[in-house]
Chains A and B, each alone.
Chain A
Amino acid sequence: MLLELSDVTKVYQTAEGPLRVLDGVDLTLDRGETLALTGESGSGKSTLLHLAAGLDLPDAGQVRLAGQDLGRIGDNGRSALRRGTVGLVFQQFNLIPSLDVAANLAFQARLSRRHDPDWTAELARTLGLDGLLARFPEQLSGGQQQRVAIGRVLAARPALVLADEPTGNLDEATGDAVLAALLRLVAESGAALMMVTHSSRLAARLDRRLHLSGGRLA
């Protein structure tokens, strides 16, 4: 099993008292699988994604990624897992503004020492970015930036792609095109995908769909 969440609970301290965002969540995801995570705003979708990426730790329960218990391997170990195993796609793209498109595309692959210039070039072609390689993020449209963000993740060939509302900032047509590219490339690379989305329409295009409500999965 690539990702395994067992009885995971996360509580935030708020002005109104403790807020139980996740309450005994169990979830598994295997290689090659795609999973859509839906739910209302504040239902804990992003929190669950962050826990899966090792960006945060649960208050109770266990998160295992690639066979490792994230609560036991320390910050350095979790960072190493993120570099080598996980690829994150954010709603706001989060490209590195000081690097051009080519450098952004290759960045994570180089970070994980898996940089394959041919594969990166093929990704750039597939994502329609080959004419934009010398540009900087601020010179791109939202859709182009998100395609670069997806290319950056896939260039590193991660085992797990975690996408948080990847089309949330795009219009419907662009969003559809970006998602199509993401699904196709994930399938080709054999990675697993967990995607947080508000949209039932987009969620329907993935293998599985889970709904978060009241801190529990349905």
Chain B
Amino acid sequence: MRVAFGALLSHWRRHPLQLATLLLGLALATALWSGVQAINAEARASYDRAAGALTGGGLDRIVRGDGGSLTTDDFVALRRAGWPVSPLVEGRLAGSDLQLIGIEPLTLPREAALGPKGNGAALPDFLTPEGRLLVHPETAARLADTDLPPRIVDASLQPGTAVTDIALAARLLGMGRQITALILAPDAPPGDPGQVVPGLERRAASSGDLARLTDSFHLNLTAFGLLAFVVGLFIVHAAIGLAFEQRRPMLRTLRALGVSARALTALLLVEVVGLSLLAGVLGLALGYLVAAMLLPDVAATLRGLYGADVPGTLSLRPIWWLSGLGIAVAGALLAAGQGLWQAARLPLLALAQPRAWARASAARQRAMAVAGAALMAAAGVLVLTGGGLWAGFGVLATLLLGAALMLPAALAGLAALASRVFPGGAVSDWFWADTRQQLPGLSLALMALLLALAANIGVGTMVSSFRSTFTGWLDQRLASELYLTLRNEEEEASVSAWLAQRTEAILPIADAEVVLGGRPGEVYGVADHPTYRQNWPMLTALPSAWDDVAAGRGILANEQFFRSADLALGSQVALPGGALPVVGVYSDYGNPRPQVLIGTAAFEQRFPDVPVVRFGLRVDPTRAEALKADLQATFGLPASAMVDQSAIKALSLEIFERTFAVTAALNVLTLGVAAIAILSSLLTLAGLRLPQLAPLWAMGLTRRRLAGMELLRLLVLAALTWVLAVPLGLALAWVLLAVVNVEAFGWRLPMHVFPADWLRLGALAVLAAGLAALFPALRLARIAPTRLLKVFADER
């Protein structure tokens, strides 16, 4: 058996390039998959910590059934009734992205693992009027220059979160007597808190909103990782397939010499597993690099889209290593399955029958096309009948797979059409006929290219649509020319009086933390002014919406709150001071939190303690800069107190670009893998091409011309693949925008098309294919005539 195994392995010694292709393909596939998994694992571990912090370590909660906030009266009533509850306040600190959690340390259940007792901080300090903030070291560094209470560093906390005493949190958040939730001790007796305070409900501990919310994003990443993995497997399948084909005579000889089919299959299996383990280790090392490279961008995305904080550093777990190696082995076995099956099943003589590995029958191409069409039809049915995120991803999967299966037939059809549209001489006829002939051998690599291009166009269209909508939305939303934040109400009085003569309008921006639909959210008080009536980005509204808001008879809800709470126009939303109906819905991109707008008067009535120190100023845009300088000179305001519209827009767009940097990086990586798939296919096919090209050379076509045509063929195929990828990518974009995004982010975006981007991508695809085809073409152009003559000499 050792001798037989040695004979099998000798193939790789004779074909080092093929071995390198196989290892590279599998390593790349493993790298992208395991890199994405490492990121997901890191983020999930982070959510678990966050969920622990936010939910009180998996303890049951008591909340209001209508999604509104509780009050300290509810807490007192329950404690008096013997319920072991502890109050919790959650919210985002105004003007920052700090998530503040207020606890009551004396009643907090031990199991909550929150508060000062678990980390050595002195309880008296925590309870002083000045108070303390427990924060992660990263957060402590971020808060270094703020005038917030003193910080106590605790590495077990979630970055971006601060834990403090409930009274201090309520004060900082302006929540007055509101309580977000009441945590129940584990030994609490079963019962209905609604019997003590009507409207209260007991909620079982959940894994946290964050994990649920971000599931879609991680599913997205996983889908991308899987796509890249599948693209990588195309390379592996091509390399292993060719190796099996080239070793057919050797397999036949080994069988003839007495090696049983079972033993031969076992040896091939051992070989595949051995090679895949080798490639797996290499892939894991690459995957670590990919993950380390992408994690900061992913962290930015999660912060931007969901307000989730994930540390930007990577810690790897043993399960990651094992699963990475497992996927490498499984992928290689999947890719080698066809060859292994044939080696195990085919009778001895059949092994010797010549079979053009690269040539699939027309019947097979037709069968693939039919299967592809069936999958496309299934995608259509899913769009019409399915619902939810998984149906969305099901549509994406069937669409992509179906299109990939239809690709060879479609390219053959286009090549046939091209030969009729561009009739030429003998060489031209041969070129198109030979292009069709080469398709089966190149189809896996071209499918990989199609998937990569479609993903690029689909995701690119989504991101660009998002960018375009977001920019337009920013223009509407940031209508004021200057935004002003004052230090206190005294300053506000003097500045307002001064501004009254110098501005067209002063629009107060008042906001308070509230509980909306059971989640921490925010309520804004807005003035009744044409600035809002004319510019606010409404999605749907009653005709009287602004009048209702101004009169305190209704609220406007942001889209994500409207969708997640399953509201309709007219639905009542619980707010401090009484519920109000939804009279309109507006788009609010990039905000992960529920938000509502009410009129200024209603706001002041319901939140009398909240100071109004932020304003939007309407002035002639050409005068904004001068007004800023005057304000600074007259009142000694710091520069940070005044932000002009363009600066906010620039900052928002910068955050936006960073948010989608990870998608762009994955796009480029997937395209790179597709280019390597093409290169590997061409290199493995190069040996098979010589017998087909040598007669043409003998008939008078120069090597350089033949090489040029080989290069041109790949460029043409890449361009045709791109042509087919455009409609597929647009279909993908539609599914992402109309199905997946609505489920994932809670908002629906209009789809915009960007033909210039497609052209750029097409040029990039042709360039990538050209680069991949360049080396084999150069090799052919410089091939020694003796190599070509050998084709004829081998005939005997």
Measured CB to CB, the residues of A under 8 A from B are 41, 46, 50, 53, 55-56, 75-76, 79-84, 86, 88, 90-92, 94-99, 103, 106-112, 115, 164-165, 168
Asked if B429 contacts A168 (CB within 8 A), the reply is no
Closest B residue to A86 using CB positions: B700
**Residues of the A chain whose Cβ atoms lie less than 8 Å from the Cβ of B499:** none
Closest A residue to B431 using CB positions: A98
Asked if A111 contacts B796 (CB within 8 A), the reply is no
Interface centre among A82, A94, A99 (most CB of B within 10 A): A94
Asked if B699 contacts A92 (CB within 8 A), the reply is no
At the interface, yes or no: B313 with Cβ under 8 Å from chain A? no
CB-contacts of B66-103 with A (<8 A): none
Complexed CA–CA distance, A8 and B295 (Å): 69
Complexed CA–CA distance, A56 and B787 (Å): 11
Known: A50-B789, A56-B786, A94-B695. A76 touches B702 (CB 8 A): yes
Within 8 Å by CB of A55, from B430, B437, B696, B785, lies: B785
**Residues of the B chain whose Cβ atoms lie less than 8 Å from the Cβ of A106:** 426
CB-contacts of B657-692 with A (<8 A): 691-692
Known: A56-B786, A165-B796. A98 touches B426 (CB 8 A): no
Within 8 Å by CB of A56, from B429, B436, B691, B785, lies: B785
CB-contacts of B684-741 with A (<8 A): 691-692, 694-704
Asked if A96 contacts B702 (CB within 8 A), the reply is no
Q: List 7 A-B contacts (CB under 8 A).
A: A88-B699, A96-B695, A98-B430, A98-B434, A103-B429, A108-B700, A110-B426
Known: A96-B695, A106-B426, A165-B796. A111 touches B700 (CB 8 A): yes
Known: A55-B785, A75-B703, A99-B433. A82 touches B698 (CB 8 A): yes
At the interface, yes or no: B425 with Cβ under 8 Å from chain A? yes
Q: Can you list the 10 inter-chain pairs with the closest CB atoms, starting with the nearest?
A: A83-B700, A110-B426, A98-B437, A94-B695, A98-B433, A82-B700, A92-B795, A98-B434, A79-B702, A91-B795
Known: A56-B785, A56-B789. A79 touches B700 (CB 8 A): yes
Complexed CA–CA distance, A132 and B751 (Å): 55
Q: Give min CB distance, A37 to chain B, whole Å.
A: 15
Closest A residue to B433 using CB positions: A98
**Residues of the B chain whose Cβ atoms lie less than 8 Å from the Cβ of A110:** 425-426, 429
At the interface, yes or no: B793 with Cβ under 8 Å from chain A? yes
Asked if A99 contacts B793 (CB within 8 A), the reply is no
Asked if A91 contacts B701 (CB within 8 A), the reply is no
Complexed CA–CA distance, A107 and B699 (Å): 10
Complexed CA–CA distance, A96 and B436 (Å): 13
Within 8 Å by CB of A168, from B434, B695, B701, B796, lies: B796
Asked if A96 contacts B430 (CB within 8 A), the reply is yes
Asked if A88 contacts B698 (CB within 8 A), the reply is yes
**Residues of the A chain whose Cβ atoms lie less than 8 Å from the Cβ of B699:** 82-83, 88, 107-108, 111
Q: Give min CB distance, B287 to chain A, whole Å.
A: 41
Complexed CA–CA distance, A81 and B434 (Å): 24
Closest B residue to A109 using CB positions: B426
**Residues of the A chain whose Cβ atoms lie less than 8 Å from the Cβ of B692:** 96-97
Measured CB to CB, the residues of B under 8 A from A are 425-427, 429-430, 433-434, 436-437, 691-692, 694-704, 785-786, 788-789, 792-793, 795-796
Complexed CA–CA distance, A165 and B796 (Å): 9
Asked if B426 contacts A107 (CB within 8 A), the reply is yes
Closest B residue to A165 using CB positions: B796
Within 8 Å by CB of A91, from B436, B697, B785, B796, lies: B796
Complexed CA–CA distance, A75 and B425 (Å): 22
Within 8 Å by CB of A111, from B427, B437, B792, lies: B427
Complexed CA–CA distance, A112 and B430 (Å): 14
Q: Give min CB distance, B716 to chain A, whole Å.
A: 15
Known: A83-B700, A96-B696. A107 touches B430 (CB 8 A): yes
Q: Give min CB distance, A182 to chain B, whole Å.
A: 17
Closest A residue to B700 using CB positions: A83
Known: A98-B436, A107-B426, A110-B425. A46 touches B700 (CB 8 A): no
Closest A residue to B436 using CB positions: A98
Known: A94-B695, A96-B430, A110-B426. A79 touches B437 (CB 8 A): no
**Residues of the B chain whose Cβ atoms lie less than 8 Å from the Cβ of A90:** 695, 698, 792, 795
Complexed CA–CA distance, A157 and B425 (Å): 18
Complexed CA–CA distance, A50 and B700 (Å): 13
Within 8 Å by CB of B792, from A41, A46, A109, A115, lies: A46
Q: Give min CB distance, A65 to chain B, whole Å.
A: 13
Within 8 Å by CB of B434, from A50, A83, A96, lies: A96
**Residues of the A chain whose Cβ atoms lie less than 8 Å from the Cβ of B691:** 94
Closest B residue to A94 using CB positions: B695
Asked if A53 contacts B429 (CB within 8 A), the reply is no
Complexed CA–CA distance, A210 and B137 (Å): 94
Closest B residue to A96 using CB positions: B430
Q: Give min CB distance, A204 to chain B, whole Å.
A: 22
**Residues of the B chain whose Cβ atoms lie less than 8 Å from the Cβ of A75:** 702-704
Complexed CA–CA distance, A210 and B692 (Å): 32
Asked if B695 contacts A111 (CB within 8 A), the reply is no
**Residues of the A chain whose Cβ atoms lie less than 8 Å from the Cβ of B704:** 75
Q: Give min CB distance, B396 to chain A, whole Å.
A: 36
**Residues of the B chain whose Cβ atoms lie less than 8 Å from the Cβ of A165:** 795-796
**Residues of the A chain whose Cβ atoms lie less than 8 Å from the Cβ of B697:** 55, 79
Complexed CA–CA distance, A138 and B700 (Å): 24
Complexed CA–CA distance, A95 and B692 (Å): 9
Closest B residue to A112 using CB positions: B700
Q: Give min CB distance, A163 to chain B, whole Å.
A: 12
**Residues of the A chain whose Cβ atoms lie less than 8 Å from the Cβ of B427:** 111
Closest B residue to A83 using CB positions: B700
Complexed CA–CA distance, A94 and B788 (Å): 13
Closest B residue to A80 using CB positions: B700
Known: A108-B699, A112-B700. A97 touches B796 (CB 8 A): no
**Residues of the A chain whose Cβ atoms lie less than 8 Å from the Cβ of B788:** 55
Asked if B702 contacts A103 (CB within 8 A), the reply is no
5 more A-B residue pairs beyond the given contacts A98-B434, A107-B699, with a C-beta to C-beta distance below 8 A:
A94-B698, A98-B437, A99-B433, A107-B426, A168-B795
Q: Give min CB distance, B700 to chain A, whole Å.
A: 3
**Residues of the A chain whose Cβ atoms lie less than 8 Å from the Cβ of B701:** 79, 83, 111
Complexed CA–CA distance, A159 and B493 (Å): 106
Complexed CA–CA distance, A55 and B703 (Å): 11
Complexed CA–CA distance, A80 and B697 (Å): 11
Complexed CA–CA distance, A215 and B390 (Å): 75
Complexed CA–CA distance, A91 and B425 (Å): 27
Q: Give min CB distance, A84 to chain B, whole Å.
A: 7
Complexed CA–CA distance, A138 and B786 (Å): 27
Closest A residue to B793 using CB positions: A46
Asked if A99 contacts B429 (CB within 8 A), the reply is yes
**Residues of the B chain whose Cβ atoms lie less than 8 Å from the Cβ of A94:** 691, 694-695, 698, 792
Interface centre among B425, B429, B795 (most CB of A within 10 A): B795
Complexed CA–CA distance, A35 and B651 (Å): 86
Complexed CA–CA distance, A91 and B430 (Å): 22
Q: Give min CB distance, B374 to chain A, whole Å.
A: 29
**Residues of the A chain whose Cβ atoms lie less than 8 Å from the Cβ of B796:** 41, 91, 165, 168
Asked if A164 contacts B792 (CB within 8 A), the reply is yes
**Residues of the B chain whose Cβ atoms lie less than 8 Å from the Cβ of A115:** 426
Q: Give min CB distance, A49 to chain B, whole Å.
A: 9
Complexed CA–CA distance, A86 and B699 (Å): 8
Complexed CA–CA distance, A88 and B430 (Å): 18
Closest A residue to B705 using CB positions: A79
Asked if A53 contacts B703 (CB within 8 A), the reply is no
Complexed CA–CA distance, A50 and B784 (Å): 14
